[in-house]
Structures are given as C-alpha cells and as structure tokens.
Amino acid sequence: MSGPTTLARAVSLAARMPGPLLPMGVMAAAAASTGSMFTTATLTAAALVGISISAPAASASAERFGARNVLLVSAIAHVLMLVLMVSSVDRLTRGDTLTADATIYTLLLLFTLIAGLSVPAVATFSRADTWTRKQGVSVWHGLRVEGRLDDAALIAAPLLLAGLSFSFGPTVGLLSSAVLTAVAVPLYAVERTDPLEVPTETARLPLGGAEHAQQQLLEHRRLAPAQAPAWARGISAAIALAGALGLVLGGLWISVLGAAQALARPSLFALTLGLLAAAAVLGARWKPSRFTEPLVLRRRRLHVVALLGLSLLLVLLAVVIPVGLVSLLVISGIAVLQSAVLGRLVLGLYAGLALGVPTRRLPVAMPAVAGGVLLGIALGLTLAGIGADEIGLGASAAVALAGSLLAGVVVFSGQLWGSPERRVDHPVPVPDGD
C-alpha cells in the first residue's frame, strides 16, 4: 500500500481475513452438515496444510510472475474453490460420510486443500513491502503494525463467523471469505508496488501471537552467534516442542467444537476460538521488552506444568459434565487459560531461536519450527476427531493432554536454550517506533 493510512490498513486487514476464515468456516460448515468430528477435523487439517504452503509458494511465484499477478490469480482460484466447497458440503449427509459419500468427501477434501493453497498471501507481500520501502526505526514500527494486523485478523475471523451465522447459517464463513477475497484482495493488489526483495518468511500459523513472536525473533536476530555447534540439538527439541503445542491446540479446537454441537447454535464455538486467539496474543505480547525472559528454564517449566494441569482438568471435566451450554462454558474457560500459556511457550520458543541459532540458519530453522506447529495441529485435529466420534468429548480432550505431556518431556529434558541459573537479557536495544 502507498502509506500507513487508516483506509490502507483497513483494506490490508480485510484482505488478510480469508486465511483465518477458511479453517473456521470449514469447521462450522462440515460439523453442521455431517455431524462427524473426524470428517470436520480432516477437512480442517487439509485447509491448514494448504495455508501453511501458500505463503512460501506465493513468494516463490512472485519472483517470476510478480506479486500483483500472484495475488489476483490466487484470489480468483480461492473464490472458485470456496464456491465449490459450499456446493459440495451441502451434499454431505449425517450418515457414514466415508462410505455413503466417499466421492463427495474426496472432492471436498481436494477443494479444501486447494483453497488453502490459493489463500492470497497478503500478509507476506505486505510485510515485504514494509521491509523494502522504509528505513531505520520505521522498519520495526511498520513490521510491528504488520504483526498486529495478523493478530487482529486471527481474532476477528471467528467473531465475524459467529456473528453472521445467526442469520445466514453454517456456511457463512466460507461465503464471507469469498466476498472478502473478491473485493479486498484486488483492491490491495492494484494499489501496491512489487517489493525488490522478500524478508525471511515462514509458514502462516493459526495460533495467536505466533507472528508477533516470529517478528520479535527478526528484531533480535543479531543476538544469534556466528557459530553455534550445538544448535542442531536445540532445533530438534524446538521442533518437538512446536509439534506438542500444535497437538494441544488441535485437541482444544475439537473439544470446543464437540461441546458446542449440542447447542441450538453450534456456531457459538467460534466465539471461543476468537477468545483462544486473543488469549494467545496477550500471552505472547506480555512484557514485550523482556523478550528473553521466557528462556529461563524455571519459567518454561512453570508454564508447561500449568499447561499439563489445565489439560488434566479439561479431560476430567469433559468426561464428567454432560454436553451442553455448561460444558461449553467450562471447556472454553479452561481452553482460554491454556491458550494464554501456549502464547508464552511460543514466545519462548522463538526467543530460543534468536539466541541459539546462527543467523545464516534462521531461514531453515523458522520454517522447521512453524512446520512442527502445523503438523502438530493437523495430527491433533485428526486424532481428536476420531476420539470424539468413537469415544466422546473426553477423548478429544485427552489429545490435548497428550500434547501437554510431550511438551513437558521436551522442556524438562533440558535440551532447549536457556537455563534456570542464568537469565539472558538482550544486548541489542529494540527501536521503539510506537
């Protein structure tokens, strides 16, 4: 965009909405149409896998065809896939989806994957534009604004879905995404200029505060040592922790969705997902000037113990409390607390990358960790969906507990960066452009 005006930011925010709206819309539409948590989980996982690949794929395509052309073509493809998804999901029944509607399910899975792949990479190009058009302190200020827009889109998407679903039904998320893509993305594309270079960019994460944590890493990247012989061991532990956190998030999503299915308005689950994103954002942004504070091992252990305790409580209450409004409120409250803890752990994870990985290795380390989160979410969604269908709500909550246990093993193993004896304060002052 030409400048950080209110209108420009509004268009940029609207153009980012299709990304977070896609998995939320798939969850609402598939759950209402099929009643199957497994079908809903696998379709949502397909959407997330596609979204995770869309940003780096768009960056690579822009080098050859130009950012504007990539945005316009992806917008057309995305709208087409959303229309096909809406027409297909209405054909699914509440019976055995995998046998009675195998063809429709397969097509819907393919449409969802392509819809994720074709999500316009507005955030990626907007960040690149900010990176190349500004100098000095304004770079950091502009990139912080980008992070806030990412977080705002992640929080606003489920709230928009919940609000509109009362009037327009469960497919409103997909339809809203199609409208926003058709209107906002072309507006953004035609008013921008192609950047000369693209900064370090990783997969898009459906976790509030993750983009902020990644941006904090870039601001602190001069802390990374020139040589770090043990960085490979640390990055392996970081990927394992990232996968564990994704497993927790996948279990929480299905637990919340399952608890809402007994309500007259199941789409209320989207309100909880919005609160989850907001809690994670607040957790990741708490005391931003103390970026390395989460590196202290005793703090990590405290966070992971809290996550484990909340997950255990979630399982117990999911089994004991009958499915209904009370169950949704209780599960939502616990899940929000867990999400805030996830935000702190994600911030500590990227702080460790800033201090423990050589700068030249960051383009490899960041996508690896982001991929671990996304793989964990996809696995968590699938396992939780199977458990919810075959056993009940307690089984999907047990997936979150399993992820918490894995996170505890990784943190207590001591393989991550940081120590309980020494607190590391960053020596490089971060420009304050706010």
pLDDT tens per residue across span 298-332? 778 888 999 999 999 999 999 998 888 899 999 99
3-state helix, strand, coil in the chain (%, to 5): 80, 0, 20
**What is the rounded (10 degree) CA torsion for 122, 123, 124, 130?**
110
Q: Return the pLDDT at 94.
A: 53
pLDDT in tens, 262-307: 887 888 888 898 999 899 888 887 765 566 665 666 778 888 999 9
Structure tokens at 168: 């327009």
Exposed/middle/buried for residue 8 (C-beta within 10 Å: 0-12, 13-18, 19+): middle
Q: Return the pLDDT at 32.
A: 85
Nearest to 149 by CA among 12, 318, 303: 12
Q: Return the pLDDT at 434.
A: 38
- Cα→Cα distances 153→11, 109, 227, 315, 369, Å: 12, 25, 38, 30, 22
- Cα→Cα distances 177→21, 115, 137, 263, Å: 6, 11, 35, 25
Q: Return the pLDDT at 150.
A: 84
Q: Return the pLDDT at 235.
A: 84
Q: Which one of 133-147, 152-166, 212-226, 299-313 scores highest in mean pLDDT? A: 299-313
pLDDT at 134 over 70: no
Does residue 93 contact residue 101 with C-beta atoms inside 8 Å? Answer: yes
Q: Return the pLDDT at 229.
A: 54
- Model confidence band, residue 339 (pLDDT cutoffs 50, 70, 90): very high
Q: Residue 389 region, left (φ>0) first, then alpha (ψ -120 to 50), else beta?
A: alpha
Q: Return the pLDDT at 140.
A: 62
Per-residue 3-state assignment (H helix, E strand, C coil) for 279-319: HHHHHHHCCCCCCCHHHCHHHHHHHHHHHHHHHHHHHHHHH
* Mean pLDDT, range 339-363, rounded to an integer: 82
In whole angstroms, give the CA distance from residue 29 to residue 45.
Answer: 14
Distance, first Cα to last Cα, the chain: 20
Q: Which one of 165-179, 317-331, 356-370 scores highest in mean pLDDT? A: 317-331
- Model confidence band, residue 209 (pLDDT cutoffs 50, 70, 90): low
In whole angstroms, give the CA distance from residue 312 to residue 319.
Answer: 11
Q: Return the pLDDT at 138.
A: 60
Q: What is the chain's mean pLDDT, rounded?
A: 81
- C-alpha angle 376-379-382 in degrees, rounded to nearest 5: 145
pLDDT in tens, 91-133: 776 555 555 577 888 889 999 999 999 999 888 787 766 655 5
pLDDT at 421 over 50: no
- Cα→Cα distances 343→224, 245, 282, 368, 404, Å: 22, 10, 7, 18, 14
Q: Which long-range contacts (CB under 8 A, 24 or more apart) does 287-290 make?
A: 288/216, 289/430, 290/425
Domains of the chain plus CATH, in order, are: 1-203 (1.20.1250.20), 205-429 (1.20.1250)
How many residues would you count in the chain?
Answer: 434
pLDDT in tens, 227-273: 555 666 778 888 999 999 999 999 999 999 999 988 878 888 888 98
2-16, 20-34, 205-219: which range is least confident on average? 205-219
Does residue 23 contact residue 154 with C-beta atoms inside 8 Å? Answer: no
pLDDT in tens, 17-53: 998 999 999 998 988 888 889 989 999 999 999 988 8
